[in-house]
Structure 1
Amino acid sequence: MGGSQTLILCWALLVALSVGTVLTGASGLWLVVLVLAVVKGWVIVDGFMALRYAPLLWRFAMLGWVGVLVVAAFGSTRLLG
């Protein structure tokens, strides 16, 4: 698969995941929203940023940042909810 086809596939997947995030957020399923956020972060890091074949340190740093944001969001919803 060519580079532009990969980006189009990633974009379509991100659109579908974003619609899923909105629908699950509207229904109050916050854990599912956070899981979808992790999947979207993974698609962005591996697809758009093309870190799939990068050194593991860079890949884990980017995916770790997504994890930090999700844990922070989950913690704030637990405190506020």
Structure 2
Amino acid sequence: MFANPYIKSVLWLLSLGGAGYGLMLLTEPSQEKIERIKASVPGASLTADQEKKALFMKKLQEAATTSTPIYRQAPNKKDD
């Protein structure tokens, strides 16, 4: 019975999928842990590199939501 490769494949699929699902449930952080992590990370004091990354991610998100290509968008000017 276990000599059939299809049965072996299904059994391996089920066992590894079940193990993965179990690990996912086991390592899921609680709401308290998430709140503690959010409280410990300073949001206002970003370094210059982090600001650049945040601006880049914002531009990527804007480009993903509009139909205009990113190379055609007008540059955002900062008000100093």
Structure 1 and Structure 2 fold alike (TM over 0.5): no
Structure of higher CA gyration radius: 2
Which one has the bigger helix percentage?
Answer: 1
Give TM-score, length-normalised by structure 1. 0.30
TM-score by length of 2: 0.31
